[in-house]
Amino acid sequence: MVDYPVDLNKCGPMVLDALIKIKNEQDSTLTFRRSCREGICGSCAMNIDGSNTLACLAHISDASKATKIYPLPHMHVVKDLVPDMSNFYDQYKSIKPWLQRNEANADGKETLQSIEDRRKLDGMYECILCACCSAACPSYWWNSEEYLGPAVLQQAFRWIDDSRDQKTEERLKQLDDTFKLYRCHTIMNCSKTCPKHLNPGKAIAKIKARVAQMH
């Protein structure tokens, strides 16, 4: 653990501002990911004062005490505040996160969707894959090689519930697995920690219900 004093009168209000100031003025070797600074890219996900969140959205809450910053928990660390996201992205790739159709529209036009069906995707498409939720899940800590975790499962349901997709049954069969899906024990840390205020736990419950309907 390294302590870095920061004059908050000469620093922006967010934890990411402080990290950038430290890197620029005190320790150029300090390593962390960042990009948009607007809570959109998910790059600066880390554990701040015990909670997984985005450094660009986390206010420096109390100037009278130190802010404790760690990389996302229970992930291999590349350096400093940079976790190895390889397994996370491989799991995301495994759910085939793109629109799948049996054949192209005969008229060559886009596949339309009703307003009601489009609304079903609200609360899922906003996910920025920061992995805060997965890194907060004890089931993912224990079984990260096999359990897909809340972020990936929420993204899986985003395509399962998309009226334009024609591979719903195949997607559900792929997830019908003791470890991929059913390691979720409804602890709900995922929904509590999401910096975008989404509810991965609810999406997972809906997947389980849809899988149950197949049997």
For the chain, strand residue ranges (E) read: 45-48, 51-54, 69-70, 77-79, 82-83
> Does residue 30 come out as left (phi exceeding 0), alpha (psi in the -120 to 50 range) or beta?
beta
Q: Which two tokens stand for residue 181?
A: 């899906």
Lowest mean pLDDT among 51-55, 65-69, 136-140: 65-69
Contacts of 13 by beta carbon, 8 Å cutoff, 6+ apart: 59, 60
Predicted local confidence at residue 168, as pLDDT: 97
pLDDT tens digits for range 93-117: 999 999 999 988 888 889 999 999 9
pLDDT at 207 > cutoff 80: yes
pLDDT tens digits for range 126-137: 999 999 999 999
Predicted local confidence at residue 112, as pLDDT: 92
State residue 39 phi and psi, 5-degree precision: 70, 30
Contacts of 183 by beta carbon, 8 Å cutoff, 6+ apart: 139, 140, 142, 143, 146, 147
CA angle 136, 138, 139 (to 5 degrees): 120
Indicate the pLDDT class of residue 181, thresholds 50, 70 and 90: very high
Contacts of 188 by beta carbon, 8 Å cutoff, 6+ apart: 201
How many Cα atoms sit within 13 Å of 153 on the Cβ side?
32
